[in-house]
């Protein structure tokens, strides 16, 4: 099965070199936190909130985009977590006893919560800022691949998370745009 073949191709890179294992662990476990910080900083600095004469006033005007981006990611993660009630896919190390993951992880694996969250975050940024969005999509791919390499996810878990995250970010954006285009009810009742 191609899912298993891709998994073992990537997983077999581990346990060969301690330095490579450390890099894989960094991208699977610690880099995601850095991506959240980078996304927040990008959204704040892109709008020049810190350099504005009245930063709190500027922040109040730009909060919608910041909330939209992080809401997309959090909402996608919640949907991913809830979907595991229906999809009981075991993690690779439970299906294959010879697999020794570099990270400890419990629970079902499909879809990957990390892949879902970070792809939703990336697409939410992409919808407003194409160039930065491409960078955050690359970050999501790095995190997803690292989660396979360290032995806690199959490729289909990551792919499912990517599709779910991008789809949810798209739906959230459509709903947001629809709300923005509705005329104010007070203006129409004259």
> What confidence tens digit (pLDDT) does each residue in 94-138 have?
889 898 998 888 888 899 999 999 999 999 999 988 999 999 999
Query: pLDDT for 30-47, tens place per residue?
Result: 999 999 999 988 888 776
152 in helix, strand or coil? coil
Whole-prediction pTM: 0.85
**117 within 8 A of 76, measured Cβ to Cβ:** yes
Per-residue pLDDT band for 185 (boundaries 50, 70, 90) equals low
Q: Classify residue 189: in a domain, yes or no.
A: no
Per-residue burial over 68-96, b if 16 or more Cβ lie within 10 Å, else e, is bbbebbebbbebbeebeeeeebebbbeee
Q: Classify residue 170: in a domain, yes or no.
A: yes
Supply the pLDDT for residue 47: 65
Supply the pLDDT for residue 160: 95
Query: pLDDT for 141-164, tens place per residue?
Result: 999 999 999 999 999 999 999 999
Q: Classify residue 187: in a domain, yes or no.
A: no
Q: Classify residue 190: in a domain, yes or no.
A: no
Q: Classify residue 86: in a domain, yes or no.
A: yes
Domain assignment of residue 30, given as a range: 2-180
pLDDT at residue 68 greater than cutoff 50: yes
Q: Classify residue 188: in a domain, yes or no.
A: no
CATH number assigned to the domain comprising residue 91: 1.20.144.10
**Number of folded domains in the chain?**
1
Task: Please choose, from the candidates 136, 96, 106, the residue with its C-alpha nearest in 3D space to the C-alpha of residue 119.
Answer: 136
Cβ burial, residue 54 (10 Å; 0-12/13-18/19+):
exposed
């Amino acid at each position: 099965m191609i899912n298993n073949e891709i998994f073992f191709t990537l997983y077999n890179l581990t346990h060969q070199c301690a330095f490579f294992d450390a890099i894989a662990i960094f991208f699977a476990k610690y880099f995601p936190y850095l991506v959240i910080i980078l996304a927040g900083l990008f959204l704040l600095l892109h709008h020049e909130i810190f350099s504005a004469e009245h930063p709190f006033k500027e922040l109040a005007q730009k909060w919608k985009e910041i909330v939209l981006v992080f809401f997309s990611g959090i909402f996608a993660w919640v949907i991913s977590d809830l979907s595991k009630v229906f999809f009981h896919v075991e993690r690779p190390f439970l299906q294959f006893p010879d697999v020794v993951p570099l990270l400890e992880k419990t629970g079902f694996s499909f879809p990957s919560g990390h892949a879902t969250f970070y792809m939703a975050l990336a697409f939410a940024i992409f919808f407003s800022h194409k160039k930065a969005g491409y960078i955050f999509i690359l970050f999501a791919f790095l995190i997803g691949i690292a989660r396979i390499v360290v032995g806690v996810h199959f490729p289909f878990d990551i792919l499912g998370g990517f599709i779910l995250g991008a789809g949810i970010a798209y739906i959230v954006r459509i709903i947001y745009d629809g709300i923005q285009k509705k005329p104010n009810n007070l203006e129409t009742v004259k």
